[in-house]
A = this chain, B = another copy of it.
Amino acid sequence: MAEEVTLSLADAETLSRQVLTNNGFNPSHAAAITRSVVAAQRDECHSHGLYRLIGCAQTAQYRGIDPGAEPEIIDQAPGVVRVDAKQGSSLLAFEMGLPLLVEKANRNGIAVLGINNSFHFSALWQEVEALSEQGLAGIAMTPSHAYVAPAGGKSPLFGTNPFAFSWPRPGKTPYTFDFATSVVARGEIELHKRAGKSLPQGWAIDREGNPTTDPQAALDGALLPFGGYKGSALSTMIELLAGPLIGDLLGHETQAATPDGEGKPFHGELIIAFSLEAFLGSDKERHQQHAEALFDGILSQGARLPSQRRFEARERSRVHGVTIPQALYDELKALATPG
């Protein structure tokens, strides 16, 4: 059995900040990124947890993120706030834009935060959950680099384009979901390759557009959207709303950062906030209670709510801390050490 290290949440935060600061991130970015990776680790979303710090450090080295960027808030319209991330992390841009988004949503009923020109690596559930913590419902979406073919097509065009939603529940963790619009995350293909395993049918096509179960052929080809032409359609909506609508790029116009500094990973993100208060006024509590009938209807037939496992992990981590592989811990310690 592989060796593991358990850290308190406070120790995980300290380690994360040290890694980021030692790799050129200013205190504001280090704090925002730390909040995100520690929250993901806490919820046992390992792929968005402390492991991501390695990618952050490397991306900074490849000039795929500016670790000292100062985001600029633009009050675009009564219902729209834009934040120009200036090639920095989307996370600080989100945190800086959030108060104005909430204010606009509470005033108008609905409002949008558009983040431009950002490096994005985090899970969207965090951002929609942040809205629900303030009593709002939220939707978030972002395009990424071209890994996914459109339904009926044969070459990569869309990102894995995640879509997230959250709804505030009185006295409870919110109802939250967050999914990629590809059948699986690209990381799943890489895991199958490393394990020497074939892919299930329906995940990917090869470079010629033919179905493949070979992980390398899939990496050279394209992932497929979830749910056929319907998932493919949803993915185009994400490209358009979190791209041209906010004056930003389509997924296929961006690339992962590369050692030569030529990769330009920067793109947009769109977050929509709905104020239950503004929609419902004095009926808010009654209809929020009424919404619980949906969750009761799901749970009473033995199905799960989307984030149930994550919220259970959150409770465990608050008591017991987070556990990561010794090898990851050693790598992070090395990244945190000057010299």
Contacts and interface: CB of A to CB of B under 8 A. Distances in A.
B78 A78 contact: yes
Interface residues of A, number: 72
Contacts of A108: 77-80, 108, 111
Contact of A303 (B109, B153, B252, B297): B153
A321 interface: no
9 contacts: A76-B279, A110-B110, A114-B279, A150-B301, A227-B227, A240-B291, A243-B294, A244-B290, A250-B291
A107 B78 contact: yes
A179 B237 CA distance: 13
Copies of this chain present in the complex amount to 2
A297 B250 CA distance: 11
A80 B279 contact: yes
Contact of A244 (B149, B227, B239, B291): B291
Given A137-B245, A230-B231, A244-B291, 13 more contacts: A80-B278, A154-B301, A157-B294, A167-B237, A181-B230, A226-B231, A227-B228, A227-B231, A236-B294, A236-B298, A243-B291, A250-B293, A272-B272
A165 interface: yes
Contacts of A157: 294, 297-298, 301
Contacts of A297: 150, 157, 250, 252
A204 interface: no
A87 interface: no
Contact of A304 (B109, B152, B228, B291): B152
